[in-house]
């Protein structure tokens, strides 16, 4: 998936989050629309898990705040996604993945020399 694809996916998820709280804002309610919230939550968790894994702080933070459908929780989830978008736009995600790949390759080469 290209950087542009990742940014488009994050933008889509942010829009889903905003849609889930649109009525909350208009009617001054406390909770997001249950169905829209569930779709936003599950799609976002899937995206973050596939991108970073379940042990990454972004995944943990999003999952923690999205345990309830309160507007403030959805706002927190949207802000986690904005942080992810910032990492992608600034090339930090690619740099991190490249460092991991390089380290794995280095370990593999070292292991090959031992055997």
Residue 68: inside a domain, yes or no? yes
Residue 7: inside a domain, yes or no? yes
Question: Using only C-alpha atoms, what is the Rg of the chain?
Answer: 18
Residue 54: inside a domain, yes or no? yes
Of 35, 36, 31, whose CA–CA distance to 20 is shortest? 36
Residue 57 has pLDDT above 60, yes or no: yes
Residue 26: inside a domain, yes or no? yes
Range of the structural domain that residue 71 is part of = 3-90
Residue 73: inside a domain, yes or no? yes
Total count of domains within the chain:
1
Residue 98: inside a domain, yes or no? no
Residue 55 has pLDDT above 60, yes or no: yes
Residue 75: inside a domain, yes or no? yes
Residue 59 has pLDDT above 90, yes or no: yes
pLDDT, mean over the chain: 86
Instruction: Report CA-CA distances (Å) from 42 to 11, 47, 85.
Output: 15, 9, 18
Contact 44, 32 (CB under 8 A): no
The partner residues of 70 in beta bridges, in order of sequence, read 31
Rounded average pLDDT over 4-31: 88
* Structure confidence by residue, pLDDT tens digits, 86-97: 999 998 876 555
Q: What is the model's pTM?
A: 0.79
The partner residues of 31 in beta bridges, in order of sequence, read 70
Q: What pLDDT does 56 receive? A: 93
Residue 109: inside a domain, yes or no? no
Rounded average pLDDT over 1-23: 92
Q: What pLDDT does 18 receive? A: 94
Q: What pLDDT does 115 receive? A: 61
98 vs 1: which has the higher pLDDT: 1
Token representation of residue 56: 């990454």
75 vs 97: which has the higher pLDDT: 75
Element (H, E) at 50: helix 34-52
DSSP 30: S
Instruction: Report CA-CA distances (Å) from 98 to 63, 85, 95.
Output: 26, 18, 5
């Amino acid at each position: 998936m290209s950087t542009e694809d990742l940014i488009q996916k994050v933008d889509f998820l942010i829009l889903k989050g905003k849609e889930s709280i649109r009525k909350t804002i208009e009617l001054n309610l406390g909770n997001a629309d249950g169905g829209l919230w569930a779709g936003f939550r599950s799609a976002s968790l899937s995206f973050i898990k596939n991108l970073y894994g379940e042990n990454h702080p972004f995944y943990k933070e999003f999952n923690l705040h999205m345990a309830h459908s309160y507007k403030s929780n959805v706002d927190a989830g949207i802000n986690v996604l904005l942080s992810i978008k910032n990492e992608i736009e600034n090339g930090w995600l690619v740099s991190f993945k490249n460092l991991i790949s390089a380290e794995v390759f280095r370990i593999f080469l070292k292991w090959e020399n031992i055997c």
